[in-house]
Amino acid sequence: MKPKILISDRIHDKAIDEARLFADVDLEFNLTPEELVDKIRDYEALIVRSGTKVTREIIVNAKKLRIIGRAGVGLDNIDLEAAGEKNIEVVNSPEASTISVAELVIGSLIALMRNIHHGHSSLKKGRWDRNKLTGNELYGKKMGVIGFGRIGREVADRARAFGMDVLAFDPNMTAEDARENNCEYRELDELIKEVDVLTLHVPLTEKTRGLIDTARIESMKKDAVIINAARGGIVNEEDLYNALKNDTIRGAAVDVFESEPPEGSPLLKLDNVVLTPHLGASTEEAQINAGTVVVEKIRNHFKDA
């Protein structure tokens, strides 16, 4: 018999079609936690994105569940401990959006450094603010990459293509690792003090929550900028707002927020920011890959069982 898969968040149609080749698939979006607790009893596999919170209660009531697939990066919306206790495999597709996120980081950085967002909005208002919008080149600047996984390495490659020098920090890398990737290794606080551009590519954990706070921002160059397209909460938003408001640093590009949407965030009031609504994985290619990669991992799970 075919396994039954419940998909509780929207994934690309191509991924759904591929899942239907080997499984019976039901689409049930916008389920309440209570509805999912009841619904999950009949399924061997569950596919979610970030919208569905797979809690301990849901997992405990999943009588047949063998695998949970998260279409995208991160597993913070799944109770991994509860899944482990029931020997339920958990897979995701962090590789799916690597290029999309890396390109967004560079695009946001260029917009910030060259005032593209201000030039666009002022011109649409009938102004010609050419003399007010002098920016800076990326060439010759130092980029600091915190977190040197897939995305961090892709960002570093693109930064070097613009003639930037790249410094890297990752708790799992050595100076030799950095040299092999055409970067220089720095300890975290040393890197933060030295760079012109700081970009973050670490998961949100208890260790990384608030990693960039007032003390670390104040140690940066006055004309430095921060890019966060990783997870909201890694940069303390209140501390970042105060630093930007007081010109402690030049600017920031933020794609992820502590609360999404960021209603009432003081960052929305600032001019020295480029803000985007969590667009890191929002390309057609990444959306297809996020779903199809997870579906393939689920297919292999049942094939190998």
187 phi, psi to nearest 5 deg:
-65, 155
Q: What DSSP assignment string belongs to 56-94?
A: HHHHHT-SS--EEEESSS--TTB-HHHHHHTT-EEEE-G
Q: What is the dihedral of CA 207, 210, 211, 212, to 10 degrees?
A: 180
Please give the Cα distance from 259 to 238 (Å, whole number). Answer: 12
Residues written for the chain:
305
Count CA atoms within 13 Å of residue 24 on its CB side.
Answer: 7
Residues noted as catalytic: 231, 260, 278
Please give the Cα distance from 294 to 292 (Å, whole number). Answer: 5
DSSP class of 258: S
Task: Give exposure, 198-220, as e/b (b: 16+ Cβ within 10 Å).
Answer: bbbbbbbeeebebbbeeebbeeb
Q: What angle do CA 11, 14, 17 make, to 5 degrees?
A: 100
Cβ 293 vs Cβ 95: under 8 Å: yes
Helix axes 116-124, 98-114, angle to 10 degrees: 70
